[in-house]
Every structure is written in C-alpha cells, then in structure tokens.
A = this chain, B = another copy of it.
Amino acid sequence: MKHAATSEAFPDAAHDHAECISTALAAAEDTCRREGLRLTPIRRRVLELVWQNHRPVGAYDLLDQLSRDGKRAMPPTVYRALEFLQGAGLVHRIATLNAFVGCSHPDHAHQCQFLICSDCRTVVELESENIGRSLKREAAALGFQVREQSVELTGLCPECHPAH
C-alpha cells in the first residue's frame, strides 16, 4: 500500500508505458511547434527512446537502441539530438549519472530537482519553487548570482526503502 502523495510522483511499475510515451511525444510536438523548433525524425526517435527507458539512460545505450533501427548511428548523432532536446527543455541531463531523462514538465521553463533511487534507478523530477528560492537567496547573501542549478538527491524511493 502506498500514500496518495507518492502515487503521482513515483510511477507504478505497472503503469501504462505506451501511454506516457505517446503523451510525452505529443507534448514535445506541441512545444516545438509553439517555439518554432524542428523535432526531426532523429530527435523524435531519441526522445521516444528516452521515454521508453523511463529511467536515466546513457548516451551510448541510446546509441545502441538507435542502431537497432537498422542503420548504425554514431555518437555525434545521439549527442546532437540530446543537446537539442535539452535546449528545448524536453530532456534533462543527470550529472551524477552521466545520463538523460525525459522532462516531466516540458510545457514551461523551470528549474528542477531530481530524486534518484539508488536501488531501482527511478528518477523523479521535483519542481519546487521553494527550494529554488532558498538556493538563490543563500547564494545572493554571498553576492553570488545563480544561473543554473543542478540538484540531485540520491537515496531510496518509497518502493525501495525498508519502511515500505
């Protein structure tokens, strides 16, 4: 049994992958149309693969998966696609894992924080204004002007920790 609070943030293992992939892709199409960005076939495919994995996935894993489509892909292909997707706010890079995840809130610009389960590797994207503000405030107190934040919390998700 799980709290109501967790059921939204941490996806059920049995949730409908196919649907969340197609939702993400549809959202991406929208975003790109709105912003005048080109979601080309490769970029779309990479985004699809990122969501298919539904956990942080390395560039070279994506590369392997891309290559299974038929034609062998090279590293720059996937890195370029990822760079575009990050720029468009459709994908985030997890620095502590050298890996990428689909953005859960692609519809608007935001600074976010990640909860990374070290057991099942699930990642949840938090979007706490509160944390963002605290960080900026503490930095500003030292005269530091924040441009980017990378906040990655590693630990155990509700499904994986002993209390469960």
Listed in ascending order, the chain A residues whose CB lies under 8 Å from chain B are 2-3, 5-6, 9-10, 95-96, 113, 115, 117-118, 124, 126, 128, 130-131, 134-135, 138-139, 141-158, 161, 163
Pair A155/B134 contact, Cβ less than 8 Å = no
Could you tell me if B138 and A130 are in contact, using CB atoms closer than 8 angstroms? yes
Contact residues of A: prevailing secondary structure = mixed
Docked-complex contact A158 and B131, CB < 8 angstroms: no
Asked if residues B150 and A96 are in contact (CB atoms below 8 Å), the reply is yes
**Cβ-defined partner of A96 (8 Å) among B2, B3, B95, B128:** B95
Beyond A2-B143, A143-B6, whether A154 also contacts B158 by CB under 8 A is no
Closest 6 CB pairs of A and B: A143-B158, A147-B155, A95-B95, A146-B155, A6-B143, A148-B154
Asked whether, in the complex, the Cβ of B142 is within 8 Å of the Cβ of A158, the reply is yes
Check B144 against A124 for contact (C-beta < 8 Å). yes
CB distance from A82 to the nearest CB of B (A): 16
* Residue ID in chain B nearest A130 by CB atoms: B134
User: Given the complex, which residues of B lie within 8 Å of A124, measured CB to CB?
Assistant: 142, 144
Cβ-defined contact, B144 with A157, below 8 A:
yes
